[in-house]
Structure 1
Amino acid sequence: MIKTLQIGITGGIGSGKSLVCKILACLGAPVYDADSHAKNLMTTDGILISNIKKEFGELSYNTDGSLNRKYLSATVFNDADKLEKLNSLVHPRVAHDYARWLSEHSNHPYVVKEAALLYEAGSYKQLDRIVVVTAPDELRIERVVKRDPHRSKEQIRAIIGQQMPQEEKMKRADFVVVNDETTLLIPQILGLHAAFLSMPR
């Protein structure tokens, strides 16, 4: 049986990994956005909801069942141990959901898993190849300010400070995509697509 290649795409906040994934999706690759699925699971997965309430209290959820993001963010943002605890509850449920999704898309030559914390969560170990998307920090900050006007530059710098440094991710990557708005992006992605299709399975 021909195996479906599992490609991980990661990069720091504002690097443009979602853009790279959108272009690969246009080329026919199924994309699993781990961050979006995580947000969804936090309000639909009974096991995860129960664990979050147990660890962080009933205030973690609003009366309508939606996630009380303000409360949870305030609780974990400046506390590395609590953030790690929250991630340790979320990541296994995302892994479980991804396995289900993968079985539904196993007829494709390759699939893409997009995740900001691919290395930090350890999920890179289950993937065949890793692509890291990079961009200069100041450009990343500018992009996020435009995308998320509610965030200040200081908050974005704090998030960058909490993520694994780009240099470290690049060292571990199988492929690096430079998204600095001067290097052409599409040829890099077409090159990746061709490489993935030609890899032995």
Structure 2
Amino acid sequence: MKGEFVPVPMDYQKGKSENIFKREMQNPKASVFIASTGNMERSQKNTILMSMFDQILDIVYTEKIREDEGGTYGVYTQGGISRYPKGQSVLQIIYDTDPAKMENLNTIIHRELKSIADNGPRAEDFSKVKEYMLKQYNENLKENNYWMNVLDTKYFYGEDNHSNYLTILNSITANDVKSFVKAFLSQGNEAVVVMMPKEETK
């Protein structure tokens, strides 16, 4: 007897939430986790756009947070659009910093997100990411793991991630990134979780 797949609801929380809590630490720091969530069509173009978005943020936050503010060793960003639940999308932003700098850095984090949604990415950032993805694609063609992944995805999910990749990537413009980011962030769902050090009691 063949079993049937039963979907299990796994929706993200709607709206905005913030949870700041304190823990005892040997090395006091603020650990920040920000997740923007929503629902975007899981197409190959949108998957590429989400990847471009988080790579552009890597460049921006390295400059604005690490270099200009000296606020952290690095900001980790990762975006994705899930196969199941279909279209469920998330952008994660994670970093550690001095507790005294946390609020200012979070302001910068959100300012730069809004800037890309309103104005699109800076031309040099967009060009750098697109060139990197083109270079990575050509290098992947020489790797067995790449082709195994292409075959696995086609066999198990019926998706062809290879044939049109280059055409889609070459067609994407900075305005496409702007439109994608605006559509994603305008859904207005964000969770902010911050772990702060507990003050020592004397």
TM-score over 0.5 for the pair: no
Query: Comparing both structures, which one devotes a greater share of its residues to strand?
Result: 2
Q: Which has the larger radius of gyration?
A: 2
TM-score (norm 2): 0.31
Query: Comparing both structures, which one devotes a greater share of its residues to helix?
Result: 1
TM-score (norm 1): 0.31
